[in-house]
């Protein structure tokens, strides 16, 4: 199926020769994240992107995943990975041309669209990330918690990520709801009261998606015949998804000034979730 060189790249023989073994040696506290199983999935995908596929590509990926997991500054990247500036420049370049997004779309498995979930979570922006000249373009706003961004997510029936949209922290969920519904091909859509407004319900009706959304307590029209309280109980799956993503410190707190770079970190976290399935 694979040539000898491809097998070496897939199963990590080349990376060991160029220093991957030093990342996991006894006494070295570095931990790697890419298993041979995950790397066997990544290699064919990366080769589709027409990038320079060198024998150090796995170390580069490990370095970026280390940054994702720890949230440490790029300058503190362990020297075993190589020059931090070289790794950051490559990561930044991949972000601009959308490789991390394409990688997520390729890693994303078959979607179960019997029902979808939509929800959002706020991420506090670290003071080092708010020096941008235009915070609105970079999706950094002022919420109750201070400088922050918001991740609006749509997930499949198992709570696995389908896609997300970034906004400023103070943006209400309902303002992004219709954009997420455009992505959905589900039979049912499960969401909380924040999405209970006329425009969203009309959009769902147009797409012939049943709305599993409770009415607001101050709603004049209390009738909600489509609402299935038993199906609504599994809405915790999208909350679980946010919990899994925020195990990565670069997602739990925003350290990136650039919207593209922060979105790339989220796509990487989503790719890891799909890669483990």
Domain ranges in the chain are: 4-97, 115-256
Q: Which residue has the higher pLDDT, 261 or 26?
A: 261
Residue 3 has pLDDT above 70, yes or no: no
Q: What's the confidence (pLDDT) of residue 28?
A: 55
Return the HEC string of 212-243: ECCCCCCCCCCCCCCCCHHHHHHHHHHHHHHH
Top-level CATH class of 115-256? Answer: alpha beta
- Nearest one of 161, 158, 180, 183 to 171, comparing CA atoms: 180
Q: Tens digits of per-residue pLDDT, 23-38?
A: 544 345 577 888 888 8
In 3-state terms, what secondary structure has residue 56? Answer: coil
User: What percentage of the chain carries pLDDT values higher than 70?
Assistant: 88
The H or E element containing residue 199 is: helix 198-206
Distances (CA, A) of 44 to 36, 108, 135: 13, 14, 37
Q: What's the confidence (pLDDT) of residue 110?
A: 86
Question: What distance in Å separates the CA atoms of residue 83 and residue 34, rounded to the nearest whole number?
Answer: 20
Full-prediction pTM beyond 0.85?
yes
Q: What's the confidence (pLDDT) of residue 9?
A: 46
Q: Tens digits of per-residue pLDDT, 85-123?
A: 999 999 999 999 999 999 999 999 889 999 999 999 999
Q: CB neighbours of 83 closer than 8 A, spacing ≥ 6?
A: none
Q: Which residues pair with 120 in a beta bridge?
A: 152
Q: What is the mean pLDDT of the chain?
A: 86
Structure tokens at 129: 């990330």
């Amino acid at each position: 199926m694979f040539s000898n060189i491809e097998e070496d790249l897939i199963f990590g023989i080349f990376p060991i020769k160029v220093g991957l073994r030093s990342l996991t040696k006894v006494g070295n506290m570095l931990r790697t994240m890419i298993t041979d199983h995950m790397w066997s999935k990544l290699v064919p995908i990366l080769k589709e992107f027409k990038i320079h596929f060198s024998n150090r590509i796995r170390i580069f990926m490990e370095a970026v995943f280390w940054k994702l997991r720890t949230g440490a500054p790029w300058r503190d990247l362990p020297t075993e990975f190589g020059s931090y500036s070289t790794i950051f420049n490559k990561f930044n370049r991949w972000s601009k041309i959308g490789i991390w997004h394409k990688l997520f779309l390729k890693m994303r498995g078959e979607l179960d669209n019997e029902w979808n979930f939509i929800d959002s979570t706020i991420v506090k922006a670290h003071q080092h990330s708010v020096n941008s000249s235009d915070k609105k373009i970079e999706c950094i706003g002022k919420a109750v918690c201070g400088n922050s961004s918001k991740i609006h997510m749509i997930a499949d029936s198992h709570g696995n990520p389908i896609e997300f949209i970034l906004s400023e922290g103070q943006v209400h969920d309902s303002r992004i709801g219709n954009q997420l519904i455009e992505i959905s091909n589900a039979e049912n859509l499960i969401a909380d009261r924040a999405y209970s407004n006329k425009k969203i319900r009309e959009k769902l009706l147009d797409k012939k998606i049943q709305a599993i959304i409770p009415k607001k307590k101050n709603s004049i029209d209390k009738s909600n015949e489509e609402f299935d309280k038993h199906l609504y109980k599994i809405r915790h799956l999208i909350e679980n998804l946010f919990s899994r993503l925020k195990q990565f410190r670069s997602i739990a707190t925003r350290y990136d000034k650039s919207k593209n770079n922060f979105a790339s970190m989220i796509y990487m976290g989503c790719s890891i979730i799909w890669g483990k399935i």
